Amino acid sequence: MQTIDIFERLRRGETILPTDPEAYKMREASYKTKELLVQMNNATDPADIRKLLSQITGAEIDESLAIFTPLYINYGKHTKIGKNVFINFDCTFLDLGGITIEDGVLIAPKVSLLSEGHPLDPENRQALMVGHIHIKKNAWIGANATILPGVTIGENAIVAAGAVVSKDIPDNTIVGGIPAKIIKSI
């Protein structure tokens, strides 16, 4: 019987137990990513930064991406970034569950995109649960906002600074607060 690779299982949304025989591969991959992150976060040329980010994500990063480092990513291969995206300083992407950032998205400083979490049950708390984050076209994520696993941010939506988003946000809405709630439609 052929075993499905742990990263494919994560991409599919599977919960990974700490006893999983391939769990060690997640840490090994994050150490490899960290080596590239150190180089990227110390680079000053935008072309070099994009080249290193392409290596981290395993996909070509469009030259229209503007990114102010540092950026922190724990894996990278499950992050997809569109065109004309702006990522400001000091953001954190935990992407084992997958992160998709569509065209025209603005991401302010200190935003956390967290596609990973843990079960509530203390007996299983060491397990890793994942949920794909999807940020649709032209969304704007305000400073220090946190997007939790499994959330979709709608097209043209705005997430206010400091918000914690735990549920999907419809297109053309502004949300804010903890937990984030709809403030108004655009």
Please check whether residue 133 is in contact with residue 115, taking contact to mean a CB–CB distance below 8 angstroms: yes
Is 1's pLDDT higher than 90?
no
Q: 135-157 pLDDT, tens per residue?
A: 999 999 999 999 999 999 999 99
DSSP code of residue 68: -
Look at residue 115 in the predicted model and tell me its pLDDT. 98
Q: 127-139 pLDDT, tens per residue?
A: 999 999 999 999 9
Q: Confirm whether 78 is a catalytic residue.
A: no
Which domains are assigned to the chain? Answer: 6-185 (2.160.10.10)
Exposed/middle/buried for residue 62 (C-beta within 10 Å: 0-12, 13-18, 19+):
middle
Helix (H, G, I), strand (E, B) or coil at 114: strand
Exactly one of 78, 118, 132, 134 is catalytic; name it.
118
Which of 44, 104, 97, 106 has its CA nearest to residue 70?
Answer: 44
Q: 42-76 pLDDT, tens per residue?
A: 999 999 999 999 999 999 999 999 999 999 999 99
Bridge partners, residue 67, by sequence? 87
Is 3's pLDDT higher than 90?
no
What average pLDDT does this structure show over 14-36?
95
Distance CA 52, CA 27 (A): 20
Residue 167's pLDDT band, with cuts at 50, 70 and 90, is very high
Q: Is the dihedral of CA 112, 108, 136, 184 positive or negative?
A: positive
